[in-house]
Amino acid sequence: MKRAVFWAIVLLLPVVLLEVACYFITAHYRYDFFSYEQEFFDDVAQVEFDTFVHSRFFDPHLAWNNPVAPTKVFRKNCIGESIEYNYRDGSRLTPGPTKGQEVVALFGESYTQGEEVGDAFTISAVLSNQYGTPTINYGVNAYDPLQAAGKFKASLPGIPGVRTAVLLVMHENIWRVVNSFKPVYFPAKNEFYFGLKPYVKGTTIVPLSYPKDFPDFLREARARFRADYWAKPPRRFPYSVSLIKALRSHSFRSRVWTRLRGPFVHEYQVNAETRSALATALDEFVAVADSAKIRPVVVFIPRFRKSYGVSRPFVQAMNQKWGREIAHEFVDDEMDWTRYKLSERRDYCHPSPYGYGRIALFIRNVLGDDVATPRPSPR
């Protein structure tokens, strides 16, 4: 009997030690490798949900949007400055052009909108006032290209004179387009806490019809926490099994590839799932433009110096597929990268006025002189 107990202890000891080690490892990487689901549902409140779905920023098909009614808000940027944002008709206002004068419409996310700088320093403002190309700014914070394509389609009745639609794709957007629920992708409580969203699965667009009832929202959110492309496993006993599941997730593998090859390289140049999903969203944008007889332009822009040029092979493949030059990789041999962002000390900082100005110059060169006069309005 004693001999049996001895050998049982000998056999079990490594298992126990492994489980203890996995407990501490999984605790240390709790918010990096494991699901935020439980924390979300412990914290989410119906009063906050109701406030969101009745706010000016809610959109039943795109999840969130710029306000239609005239709206002014202030937000501090990453270096502590208070920035004024003015919205109307779903756009961030551009000083200079009057409504109806615009010949170019910009679509995209926070880089397009000009997050963290004043209205006069956005890409749209520089195009309008420095290069004489009246532009309307339809950028929306945290969008992906599929949401931008949906906004483009919804905005068509209000832009009869626009001849060119430009979709700006910040390199990180290839991660966003496969995401179905913002808190899975970005586990923090912010303005996108209720961010169910349309997304691409494979080559299929999954549209959104936002649930208005709180219990329906909770059911949908729970399902997306578990099925999202970036879903992470829950942390629970046995911790060794939880760790193995975490190491097999897309989220963990993307971190590894980022370390080995650099940011976004694997997603743009190897991963067929992310490339197909992004291509599907871009096809949707081009299809909307073609149906409206508007010139489509897609410009890929870097989040920081390390991602400069990362999507060039993807851009070339898309243009070959379309049979025309629609997509462009941002190139600027004269860029002073120390001035590109508001602060190099903070990874999440957006471009500075200088950075937005360099992007605007590149776009103006891509557009050429064909944008000088408005497109004739349909009779």
Q: Please tell me the predicted confidence (pLDDT) of residue 12.
A: 60
Residue-wise over 249-261: b if at least 16 C-beta within 10 A, else e? bbbbebeebeeee
Mean pLDDT of 214-238: 95
Q: Is the pLDDT of residue 151 over 60?
A: yes
Strand runs labelled E in the chain: 58-59, 63-64, 71-76, 82-88, 91-92, 104-108, 135-139, 164-170, 199-201, 204-206, 295-301, 327-329
3-state secondary structure of 127: helix
Q: Please tell me the predicted confidence (pLDDT) of residue 91.
A: 97
Judge contact between 213 and 228, C-beta under 8 A: no
In the structure, what pLDDT confidence band is assigned to residue 148 with cuts at 50, 70 and 90?
very high
Across the strands, what pairs with 165? 105, 296
Which fold, 44-367? Rossmann fold (3.40.50)
pLDDT for 51-74, tens place per residue? 999 999 999 999 999 999 999 999
Q: Is the pLDDT of residue 371 over 80?
A: no
Q: Is the pLDDT of residue 246 over 80?
A: yes
DSSP tag of 158: G
CA distances from 77 to 14, 69, 338, 339 (A): 51, 24, 18, 16
Boundaries of every domain in the chain: 44-367
In the structure, what pLDDT confidence band is assigned to residue 369 with cuts at 50, 70 and 90?
confident
Q: Which percentage of the chain shows pLDDT scores above 70?
A: 93
Comparing 10 with 67, the larger pLDDT belongs to 67
By C-alpha distance, which of 136, 175, 138 is closest to 62? 138
The amino acid that residue 58 corresponds to is: F
Mean pLDDT of 295-308: 95
The amino acid that residue 234 corresponds to is: P
Tokens representing 140 are: 């929306």
Mean pLDDT of 94-110: 90
In the structure, what pLDDT confidence band is assigned to residue 231 with cuts at 50, 70 and 90?
very high
Q: Is the pLDDT of residue 114 over 80?
A: yes
Mean pLDDT over each residue of the chain, to the nearest integer: 91
DSSP tag of 324: S
pTM: 0.93
**What's the full length of the chain, in residues?**
379
In the structure, what pLDDT confidence band is assigned to residue 21 with cuts at 50, 70 and 90?
confident
Mean pLDDT of 84-94: 96
For residue 243, give every residue at least 6 positions away whose Cβ sits within 8 Å of its Cβ, in sequence order, or none.
Answer: 22, 25, 26, 33
Q: Please tell me the predicted confidence (pLDDT) of residue 5.
A: 52
Mean pLDDT of 130-154: 97
Q: Please tell me the predicted confidence (pLDDT) of residue 186.
A: 85
Which of 18-22, 234-238, 339-343, 363-367 has the least mean pLDDT? 18-22
Half-sphere exposure for 236 (CA within 13 Å, toward CB): 7
| Spatial separation of the C-alpha atoms in residues 342 and 346, rounded to whole Å | 9
| Spatial separation of the C-alpha atoms in residues 250 and 19, rounded to whole Å | 24
pLDDT for 316-348, tens place per residue? 999 999 999 999 999 999 999 999 999 987 778
In the structure, what pLDDT confidence band is assigned to residue 377 with cuts at 50, 70 and 90?
very low
Largest CA distance in the chain: 96
Tokens representing 122 are: 């956005």
In the structure, what pLDDT confidence band is assigned to residue 375 with cuts at 50, 70 and 90?
very low
CA distances from 342 to 191, 303, 349 (A): 22, 12, 6
For residue 55, give every residue at least 6 positions away whose Cβ sits within 8 Å of its Cβ, in sequence order, or none.
Answer: none
